[in-house]
Structure 1
Amino acid sequence: MLDQKTMAARYNKSRGDFLQSASKAGWHVESIEHPQKGPAGISIYLDIAQAGNKFADDLLMVSSGTHGIEGYLGSDIQTRLLHENVLDASDEKRHLALVHGVNPYGFAWHRRVNEDNVDLNRNFIDFEAPLPVNESYAKLDDTLNPKAWSSDQAEKLGKTIDAMIERLGLPVVFQAISGGQYNFPDGVQYGGQGPTWSRTILTNIWKQMMEGKKRAINLDLHSGLGECGTGVIMTYGEETQSRIQRARNMWGDLFLSPPADGPGVITKGVVGPYLEGLCPKAEVLAVVLEFGTQPPEVVSRSIAADNWLHVHGDIDTPQGQEIKQGTLDAFYIDETGFREMVYQRAAQVVSAM
């Protein structure tokens, strides 16, 4: 079980290992402190390590922790990429950047979401336009966000979702639950009511780095979807043939283009298409490298349990600590074989960029 001191120690070690590896590899690091504190009152940060030639025409950026707790897997990858010099700090042809802990609050507190209960990958929308309405989610909020939580409740949730999938089909249910919603701030997959701290910081970082650039690749590291230990490259948002072809030329069969009506398609609020849209004159490809961990039902239950804990529970109780451990286990498998499998695939992907 995870208490606040254990979570704080885990976060500090993950971040410390990254900073130490960046320093040894000759990368310049800038750290931006988050306005809120982490568990046990620790300070938390978004860190940017840069190397190569900042005046080059090409930018390569690898980011982690957009979904908070998924940063533990992403941090492992970034730290080892530095340790093994997969990205050469002396590269004169490219500007290299590693953004560590895009969502430091979720990273430290072992949540996918941020300090406002916002899923960052639903937050990158135009908030001056009318907010999207997810009518299907509205019918499910009571089920996904119960007032009490127990093993019986978790089992009931799983059966309810399974029945819906059988009746409506996986794509419909996936969009209802995971497509994002903007009307239930205490619910899951909440996109917020305005730009978050992380969105603002990441936007500023991206704009500064993209000055004068002709081409850029952003690889965002994620976990919790797919076959355990297997990493696939995906793009979210509206696909174009040119984007698909560029990705296939670079990564071949490692790139997975979900069908337009498939369960993996998220079209609103995603980071990648937003970054691409900020630089219309440059050739930008923003993709996700997603690693599988646990079966979908385990991941879904962990998200619902963590949301219940945030809204109704107490993190400092045995139940709260058990839920935190379950959330970590859903997105990060702390085993040597798993970490090695993940790193080898990540190194293969990055080396092809």
Structure 2
Amino acid sequence: MDILTSIRSSFADEYGDARHLFLDAATAAGASLTAWENPLRGPHGEPLTTDVAWVGPEDAGRVLVLISATHGVEGFCGSGIQVDWLADGGAERLPPDTAVLLVHALNCHGFAWWRRVTEEGCDLNRNFVDFDQKLPENPGHDELVDAFVPASLDEATLAAAEAKIAAWRAEHGEKAFQAARKAGQYKHQHSMFFGGTAPTRARQTLAGVFDAFRLGDRRMVSVVDVHTGLGPHGYGEPICGHKRGTVNLDRVLAMYGDSTGLPAEGASFSIPLNGTQGRFWEPRLGERYTYVALEYGTYDQERSRKNLRADHWLHAHRTFDWHDAEAQAIKQAIKWHYYPATDTWKEMVLWRSRQVIRQTLEGLERFG
């Protein structure tokens, strides 16, 4: 399908519409469908579901796993990518002994409510830690938590918060500030990048998908987890946490070349993070997998910080009403930050996604 046609038919502006587009495209492509239901509801009373489509031979030795909405509201992008691949005849171009597993709306609650976090208030991509062990500390976030998410958004309170942040940044440096803000923290549920106190429902759903589709029995699994909000506008960076010297990283570099982002080496728009989804796959698959977060840029990080501040304040410090004018202004701002629904941005997204999916499938065929 021509990309300019697809950008008008693959993306949706509400979770429920995105789900229908996905289910229709998966059915038309001959996929088998399975659903993991969330007992909660969306803002319009709609059911919340993580839908999973399997395309290809049931006994395939090689599997590409393409995930949307790990970070909820970022699912508008990932869903469009999944629908585009299905509608563009992706199933017809699969190499032998290869299947694609599309996990639509992993964090369906955040997708529907236009939040990055799950219903537990957790950043799912900080939730993959061992909660039986000592949790990572983030003293910088502890110091700045009341500035990151103050009790009020009035002008004086915000001015004081910004002054505190500016002073901390000047004293500790930008690298330390970014780690304090978003590396992950496990104490302040109302604040941003909270990793939780236990595995979230969405994490348990991913474990259920892994077992249901016997991913542990496959020769090779390559995971592409779609994210938005970091990096140059419209550019998709495959961010990798595999360690230098591992066969996993060697394969990733062979797939995506010099575009690969390596946070541990300071060669990425991201920084090293705690509790990311890579920690889910590694103990289950060892050397038989690759994982990247395909991160699409939107707008600058200061804008992101302020939009997240408002959304976390909205849910922590007042009675939430979806239809309230102030609430809708905050929701529209965070949605646009993580899903700039312009034709130009969507065209860039699909061009890059088609390239990365092709590179991944070629890599699976070569290494699996």
TM (norm. structure 2) is: 0.88
- The aligned runs of 1:6-85 (5 Å cut-off) are 10-85=14-89
1:137–1:89 Cα change, 3 Å: same
> How far apart are 1:92 and its partner, in Å?
3.9
- SS of the counterpart of 1:167? helix
CA contact (8 A) 1:53 1:96 kept: no
CA contact (8 A) 2:72 2:107 kept: yes
1:261–1:86 Cα change, 3 Å: same
Q: Does 1:133 align with 2:137?
A: yes
Residue of structure 2 equivalent to 1:299: 304
> How far apart are 1:70 and its partner, in Å?
0.2
CA contact (8 A) 1:52 1:92 kept: no
> How far apart are 1:187 and its partner, in Å?
1.5
Residue of structure 1 equivalent to 2:4: none
Residue of structure 1 equivalent to 2:195: 191
Matched to 1:252, the amino acid is G
Deviates more, 1:145-154 or 1:229-238: 145-154
Deviates more, 1:338-347 or 1:257-266: 257-266
Residue of structure 2 equivalent to 1:288: 293
1:237–1:244 Cα change, 3 Å: closer
Question: Deviation string for 1:68-109 (max 9, x for gaps)?
Answer: 000001111111111102343765411210000010000000
1:255–1:159 Cα change, 3 Å: farther
Matched to 2:60, the amino acid is A
Out of 242, 250, 253, which is 1:248 matched to?
A: 253
Matched to 1:320, the amino acid is A
- SS of the counterpart of 1:59? strand
Residue of structure 2 equivalent to 1:172: 176
CA contact (8 A) 1:237 1:268 kept: no
- The aligned runs of 1:1-353 (5 Å cut-off) are 10-88=14-92, 92-150=96-154, 157=161, 160-209=164-213, 210-236=215-241, 240-260=245-265, 264-280=270-286, 282-313=287-318, 314-315=320-321, 316-353=323-360
* Ranges in structure 2 where 5+ consecutive residues have no aligned partner: 1-11, 361-368
Cα separation, 2, equivalents of 1:26 and 1:121? 31
Residue of structure 2 equivalent to 1:3: none
Cα separation, 2, equivalents of 1:214 and 1:335? 40
CA contact (8 A) 1:158 1:301 kept: no
1:148–1:19 Cα change, 3 Å: same
Cα separation, 2, equivalents of 1:332 and 1:269? 24
Question: Deviation string for 1:245-289 (max 9, x for gaps)?
Answer: 211111112212234367723342111232122123x51111110
CA contact (8 A) 2:62 2:219 kept: yes
Deviates more, 1:176-185 or 1:86-95: 86-95
CA contact (8 A) 2:263 2:272 kept: no
> How far apart are 1:333 and its partner, in Å?
0.7
Please report the RMSD computed on the Cα atoms of aligned residues, expressed in angstroms. Answer: 2.1
> How far apart are 1:201 and its partner, in Å?
1.0
> How far apart are 1:162 and its partner, in Å?
4.5
* Ranges in structure 1 where 5+ consecutive residues have no aligned partner: 1-7
1:202–1:305 Cα change, 3 Å: same
CA contact (8 A) 2:230 2:270 kept: no
Q: How many pairs does the alignment contain?
A: 345
Cα separation, 2, equivalents of 1:250 and 1:177? 31
- SS of the counterpart of 2:226? strand
- SS of the counterpart of 1:41? coil
